[in-house]
Amino acid sequence: MNRKIFSIPIEEVLPPVAAVLEGQGIPRWKQANGITLQLARDAVELYREKARPVGAGVEIAKDAFKPVFEGEGRNEPDSPVGPIFQASENLALFAVTIGQEICSEIRRLFRTNDFALGSMLDSAASEGTELTARAVEKLYLRHLKDFGFQIKGTGVLRFSPGYCGWHISAQKKLFDALHPSEIGITLNESHLMQPLKSISGVIISGEKNIFYFDDTFSFCRDCAEHSCRERIHAVTDHEE
């Protein structure tokens, strides 16, 4: 796969109302009151209007990815990303964003004291960014299939600097290799992306068993969500 830009249809990454409410601490099994439910629906419609989902991706060989992964040499020595990418079959760098306009709208709502809708829109935007990253994962899997790679038994999973012991400072070399400024993503001195609703990292494909690891590393204690658990289990959904 040569470097590609992906314009992703908004309907493919539209966050469900239930997910927006869950982002506000309201679990799916609990019925939200009418006002809260309407706020979540309004946030989804505002997301539909303001979000501009787009992604960039490029395949990278293992030997070329190694210095990207090593970054500035600040990774945890037991990061699981290292052995996983070494055991992989294919790798691709990626970055996605839903754009600056929706981030500006969130700030405007908070600035004008519309905290309820601003908070709901922030949850919708976070979920939408996650869905956009998943969409690019699926596109990469489709690319592998189209080029004749064996898909049955293959898993595809993404990892991002700042998680799983992969230090966030690796963003610099990742950006140097991918150049996501073309889709409007920049990096500040703290290695944080602008717009904020963006995700970057590497998509790894390989036998499904290479992705399984327990979240018992020392750095796992600093992770609030342990979202890797859900994504690792979801690898089994990529059967073709």
* CATH number of the domain within which 168 lies: 3.40.109.40
Task: Give the model's pLDDT for residue 59.
Answer: 96
Q: How far apart are CA 202 and CA 69, in angstroms?
A: 9
Is the model more confident about 82 or about 237?
Answer: 82
| 235 has a pLDDT exceeding 90 | no
Q: How far apart are CA 12 and CA 128, in angstroms?
A: 9
- Per residue in 93-135, pLDDT (tens digit) is 999 999 999 999 999 999 999 999 999 999 999 999 999 999 9
Task: Give the model's pLDDT for residue 1.
Answer: 58
| 240 has a pLDDT exceeding 90 | no
Backbone angles phi, psi at 199, to 5 degrees: -135, 140
Q: Which domain holds residue 162?
A: 4-238
Q: What is the CA radius of gyration of the chain?
A: 18
Q: How far apart are CA 159 and CA 29, in angstroms?
A: 30
- The owner of tokens 């994962």 is 137
What's the domain count of the chain?
Answer: 1
Task: Give the model's pLDDT for residue 239.
Answer: 47
- Per residue in 145-172, pLDDT (tens digit) is 887 776 667 888 999 999 999 999 999 9
Q: How far apart are CA 224 and CA 121, in angstroms?
A: 21
Confidence grade of residue 236 (pLDDT, cut at 50, 70, 90)? low
Is the model more confident about 54 or about 231?
Answer: 54
C-beta separation of 121 from 43 below 8 A: yes
Three-class SS string for 137-195? HHHHHHHHHHCCCCCCCEEEEEECCCCCCCCHHHHHHHHHHHCHHHHCCEECCCCCEEC
